[in-house]
Amino acid sequence: MIFKSEKLKEEFYSVPAMLQVMATHFEQLCVAYYKKEPVITRVREKVEGSSGVHEAGRGIDFRYEHGDEIFVSEHDAQFLVSEMNRKFTRTDSRKTMMLHSFNGGPKHFHLQLQAGHENDEVDCSVLI
């Protein structure tokens, strides 16, 4: 895992263990399939106009677009997203991961933990 800044590393280790496990699974998919190390660009920083999931410590963003570069092809990105949503299916209608942009910003992977699941126990069945 690569952190855009040292501050993000601290923030990463302050979020619920389950969200860290989900992020680590995403990292493993990126490395295993595409030999790419994902870059965390946002953890707790507020996103103007968003639902507050980042401030609540339930959201992590990973870089997709960066200048002229993209992390993997759109097709491969959709594979990663669907694998994450399959592995960590929520009990409501929302998605665990999506590829999107917000307020005209760069497209990124947004990973989120369902509200009320902050204290979920991480057991071996979750880990690969």
Interface residues with Zn ion (CB under 5 A)? 59, 61, 110
d(CA 64, CA 42): 12
Q: Considering beta carbons, is residue 5 or 127 the nearer one to Zn ion? A: 5
Q: Considering beta carbons, is residue 37 or 45 the nearer one to Zn ion? A: 45
d(CA 64, CA 123): 30
CB 109, min distance to Zn ion, A: 8
Q: Considering beta carbons, is residue 44 or 110 the nearer one to Zn ion? A: 110
CB 59, min distance to Zn ion, A: 5
CB 93, min distance to Zn ion, A: 18
Question: Both tokens of residue 46?
Answer: 């507020």
CB-based closest residue to Zn ion: 110
- Are the C-beta atoms of residues 90 and 96 closer than 8 Å to each other? yes
CB 61, min distance to Zn ion, A: 4
In the block, residue with structure tokens 């999107």: 100
d(CA 103, CA 18): 28
Q: Considering beta carbons, is residue 11 or 61 the nearer one to Zn ion? A: 61
Reference 19, options 102, 88, 66; nearest CA is 88
